């Protein structure tokens, strides 16, 4: 499917650049050091932290016709989402009504056979898949009610953070409602009868290529590397175009789907290769204290990075364990002049800071910590408070990736509260 240019996004959904909508979710909110135990009290407290959104322009929801084609959400956009269909693109995003089925529609980036599909299956075993050709399309599919959830990668144990999705978490107002940690087991795939020594090119997602670089060198393959949008897209492209001098780095399931052979199993440089995915929804879930929870926030300060130490101290003083710190450029104010007259040539980069910590928003110590952070910063947004993925993990093997259908993966279910 043809990639959508940023100009098309602007025409359909307004400016693609971050607005005050993205960066004004929580500013100078009233202090609140306690959270009630009832659902209504929790919603009120959570709204103080996450729902003070200043919008420049709210995405309109065009009226939905009630003709026979729209019964239970089975309109044109819904039909695009069936099995063996091309990934959803921005052109398919005009709003559709919420579907009436019991199963959730789950958006992911890529095509069948992608690791994101496996993560979606682990998170929601009885789901209806909504493959999307871009990360942002998956966000918009949930916002426009075409999908109920999105499952998107946020970091990999070898390749690091997926920066694009960190930026999109700010640009969109979805909530993290869970996480999935998926072992990644790469294979070298080619058309039947192709031999490794005759390969001239290897295709995969940039992270897939990076995660197998040393192994490719050890195999003595004199091949060029070609980056594509998704590991499974590489397998699909080779099969669809009958390319016999090129191999794909993808999952064993992709080989099964697209009729390719596995030339090399376990191609990743490190067997402990895990990608962490986040599950996104339009509404937050109610956090609890009866199971391990994780909370994700993002903050910034108009005077730069000097506040970072004080923010970290707010968590350290309450024995709250941080699991992730990530900085990204502040798109609203990327550069700050440092002299008093604000006209000098010395400049500092401005950053947004993302933090994950192991604690629930239902805990008093977390509420007190966030109240202190709110006083220290000019911007604070809670991205979500959600159950941690506590499923047992061991280095993956190819046998766990060769299920006959997406509903029969051996990844196991996420131990989580259903949002």
DSSP character string of 47-70: HHHH-----S-PPP------SGGG
> Three-class SS string for 312-324?
HHHHHCCCCCEEE
pLDDT, position 194 = 95
Q: What is the pLDDT of residues 380-406, one digit of tens each?
A: 999 999 999 988 766 554 433 433 333
The CA distance from 95 to 111, in Å, is: 22
Burial class from Cβ neighbours inside 10 Å (0-12, 13-18, 19+) for residue 398 reads middle
Strand partners for 286: none
Structure-token pair, residue 10: 């602007």
Q: What is the mean pLDDT of residues 89-99?
A: 50
Q: Is 295 a catalytic residue?
A: no
pTM over 0.85: no
Annotated active-site residue 135? The verdict is: no
The label of the residue with tokens 């789907």 reads 257
SS3 of 157, please? coil
Q: Using CA atoms, how far apart are residues 419 and 412, in angstroms rounded to an integer? A: 18
Please say if the pLDDT value at position 304 is more than 70: no
Indicate the DSSP class of residue 88.
B
- Catalytic residue (one of 50, 246, 275, 295): 275
Percent pLDDT > 70 in the chain is 64
Active-site entry in 135, 277, 293, 353: 277
Tens of pLDDT, residues 49-73 = 333 333 333 333 333 322 323 222 3
Which helix or strand (DSSP H or E) is residue 188 part of?
A: strand 187-190
CB atoms within 10 A of CB 341: 6
**Which residues are within 8 A (CB) of 112 and not within 5 positions of it... i.e. 6 or more apart?**
83, 84, 129, 131, 232, 257, 406
Helix (H) or strand (E) holding 215: helix 213-218
Is the pLDDT at 377 greater than 80? The verdict is yes
Handedness of CA 159, 165, 169, 175 (dihedral sign): negative
Angle of helix 115-123 relative to helix 231-241, nearest 10 degrees?
A: 130
| 132-145 as b/e: b if 16+ CB within 10 A | bbbbbbbbbbbbbb
Return the structure tokens found at 168: 């999109």
- Residue 309 pLDDT greater than 70, yes or no: yes
Burial class of 345 by CB neighbour count within 10 A (0 to 12, 13 to 18, 19+): exposed
Kindly report the number of other CB atoms within 10 A of residue 56's CB atom: 11
SS3 category, 217 = helix
- What are the tokens at 87? 């990934």
Asked if residues 182 and 412 have their Cβ atoms less than 8 Å apart, the reply is: no
Q: Which residue has the higher pLDDT, 239 or 83?
A: 239
Please determine, for residue 233, whether its predicted confidence score (pLDDT) is greater than 80: yes
Highest mean pLDDT among 156-160, 187-191, 265-269: 187-191
Burial class (CB in 10 A: 0-12, 13-18, 19+), 418: exposed
Q: Please tell me the predicted confidence (pLDDT) of residue 59.
A: 37
Residue 4 has, within 13 A of its CA and on its CB side, a CA count of 22
Task: Please state, in angstroms and rounded to a whole number, the distance separating the CA atoms of residues 244 and 252.
Answer: 18
61: left (phi over 0), alpha (psi -120 to 50) or beta: beta
Mean pLDDT estimate for the chain: 75
| Cβ-contact 203, 247 below 8 angstroms | yes
Q: Please answer whether residues 323 and 294 qualify as being in contact, where contact means their C-beta atoms are separated by less than 8 angstroms.
A: yes
Q: Please check whether residue 16 is in contact with residue 6, taking contact to mean a CB–CB distance below 8 angstroms.
A: yes
Strand partners, 352: 328
Point out the least confidently predicted range of 69-83, 247-261, 342-356: 69-83
- Report the pLDDT value the prediction gives residue 259, as an integer from 0 to 100: 96
Q: What are phi and psi of 363, to 5 degrees?
A: -85, 135
């Amino acid at each position: 499917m043809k990639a959508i240019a940023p100009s098309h996004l602007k025409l359909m959904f307004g400016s693609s650049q971050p607005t005050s909508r993205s960066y004004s979710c929580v500013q100078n909110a009233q202090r609140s050091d306690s959270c009630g135990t009832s659902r209504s009290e929790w919603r009120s407290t959570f709204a103080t932290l996450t729902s003070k959104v200043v919008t420049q322009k709210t995405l309109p929801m065009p009226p939905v016709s009630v003709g026979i084609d729209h019964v239970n959400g089975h309109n044109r956009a819904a039909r695009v989402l069936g099995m063996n269909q091309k990934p959803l693109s921005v052109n398919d995003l005009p709003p559709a009504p919420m579907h009436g089925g019991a199963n959730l529609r789950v958006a992911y980036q890529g095509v069948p056979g992608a690791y994101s599909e496996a993560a979606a299956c682990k998170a929601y075993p009885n789901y209806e898949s909504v493959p999307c050709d871009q990360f942002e399309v998956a966000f918009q599919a949930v916002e426009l009610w075409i999908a109920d959830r999105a499952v998107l990668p946020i970091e990999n144990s070898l390749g690091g953070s997926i920066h694009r999705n960190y930026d999109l978490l700010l640009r969109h107002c979805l909530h993290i409602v869970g996480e999935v940690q998926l072992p990644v087991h790469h294979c070298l795939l080619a058309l039947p009868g192709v031999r490794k020594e005759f390969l001239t090119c290897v295709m995969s997602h940039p992270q897939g290529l990076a995660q197998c670089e040393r192994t490719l060198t050890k195999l003595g393959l004199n091949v060029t590397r070609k980056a594509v949008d998704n590991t499974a897209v590489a397998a699909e492209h080779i099969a669809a175009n009958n390319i016999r001098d090129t191999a794909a780095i993808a999952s064993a399931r992709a080989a099964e789907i697209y009729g390719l052979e596995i030339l090399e199993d376990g191609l990743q440089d490190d067997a402990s290769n895990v990608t962490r995915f986040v599950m996104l929804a339009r509404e937050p879930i109610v956090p609890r204290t009866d199971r391990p929870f994780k909370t994700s926030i993002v903050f910034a300060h108009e005077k730069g990075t000097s506040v970072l130490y004080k923010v970290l101290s707010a968590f350290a003083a309450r024995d709250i364990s941080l699991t992730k710190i990530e900085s990204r450029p502040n798109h609203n104010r990327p550069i700050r002049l440092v002299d008093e007259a604000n006209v000098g040539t010395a400049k500092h980069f401005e950053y947004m800071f993302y933090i994950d910590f192991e604690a629930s928003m239902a805990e008093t110590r977390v509420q007190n910590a966030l109240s202190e952070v709110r006083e220290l910063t000019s911007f604070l947004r809670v991205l979500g408070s959600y159950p941690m993925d506590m499923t047992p993990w061991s280095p993956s093997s190819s046998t766990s990736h060769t299920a006959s259908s997406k509903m029969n993966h051996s990844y196991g279910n996420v131990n989580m509260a259903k949002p």
